[in-house]
Amino acid sequence: MSKKALITGITGQDGAYLAQFLLDKGYEVYGTYRRLSTPNFWRLQYLGVFEEVNLIPADLLDASSMLEAIKISQPDEVYHLAAQSFVGASFEQPVGAGEITGLGVTRILEAVREINPNIKFYQASSSELYGNGSLEPQSEATPFCPASPYAAAKLYGYWTTKIYREGYGIFACNGILFNHESPLRGLEFVTRKITNAVAKIALGLEKELKLGNLEAKRDWGYAPEYVESMWLILQQEEPDDYVIATNETHTVQEFIEKAFAVADLEWKNYVSVNEKFFRPLDVHYLQGDFSKANKMLCWEPKVKFDTLVEIMVKEDLQRWQKWLKGERFPWDAPNYPSENKILSRMWRLER
Ligand code: NDP
Ligand code: GDR
Active site residues: 126, 128, 150
239-273 pLDDT, tens digit per residue, is 999 999 999 999 999 999 999 999 999 999 999 99
Q: Is 315 in the pocket of ligand 2 (CB under 6 A)?
A: no
Q: Which CATH architecture has domain 4-180+220-244?
A: 3-Layer(aba) Sandwich (3.40)
pLDDT at 342: 82
Measured CA angle at 179 (ends 176, 185), to 5 deg = 125
pLDDT at 142: 98
120-171 pLDDT, tens digit per residue, is 999 999 999 999 999 999 999 999 999 999 999 999 999 999 999 999 999 9
Q: Is 35 in the pocket of ligand 1 (CB under 6 A)?
A: no
How many angstroms separate the alpha carbon of residue 48 from the centre of ligand 2? 28
35 C-beta neighbours (distance < 10 Å), count: 8
Closest CA to 279 of 92, 33, 2: 92
pLDDT at 131: 98
Res. 346: pLDDT tops 90: no
Res. 348: pLDDT tops 90: no
Res. 339: pLDDT tops 90: no
- Residue 9 half-sphere exposure toward CB, CA atoms < 13 A: 23
Rounded mean pLDDT of the chain? 97
76-120 pLDDT, tens digit per residue, is 999 999 999 999 999 999 999 999 999 999 999 999 999 999 999
pLDDT at 1: 84
Q: Is 186 in the pocket of ligand 2 (CB under 6 A)?
A: no
Ligand 1, residue 59: give the atom nearest the CA. 19
Closest CA to 55 of 37, 89, 83, 28: 28
Q: What percent of the chain lies above the pLDDT cut of 70? A: 99
Q: Which CATH architecture has domain 187-219+249-284+305-350?
A: Alpha-Beta Complex (3.90)
Residue with CA nearest ligand 2 atom 16: 190
Res. 351: pLDDT tops 70: no
Domain ranges of the chain: 4-180+220-244, 187-219+249-284+305-350
34-45 pLDDT, tens digit per residue, is 999 988 999 999
Res. 349: pLDDT tops 70: no
Q: Is 279 in the pocket of ligand 2 (CB under 6 A)?
A: yes
Residue with CA nearest ligand 1 atom 20: 59
Res. 350: pLDDT tops 70: no
Range 108-128 burial, b when 16+ CB lie within 10 A, else e? bbbbbbeeeeebbbbbbbbbb
Closest CA to 177 of 196, 158, 152, 153: 158
- Mean pLDDT score, 229-235: 98
Res. 63: pLDDT tops 80: yes
281-332 pLDDT, tens digit per residue, is 999 999 999 999 999 999 999 999 999 999 999 999 999 999 999 999 999 9
183-196 pLDDT, tens digit per residue, is 999 999 999 999 99
Q: What is the pTM of this model?
A: 0.98
Q: CB of 277 within 8 A of CB of 215?
A: no
How many angstroms separate the alpha carbon of residue 212 from the centre of ligand 1? 22
Residue with CA nearest ligand 1 atom 33: 85
Res. 2: pLDDT tops 80: yes
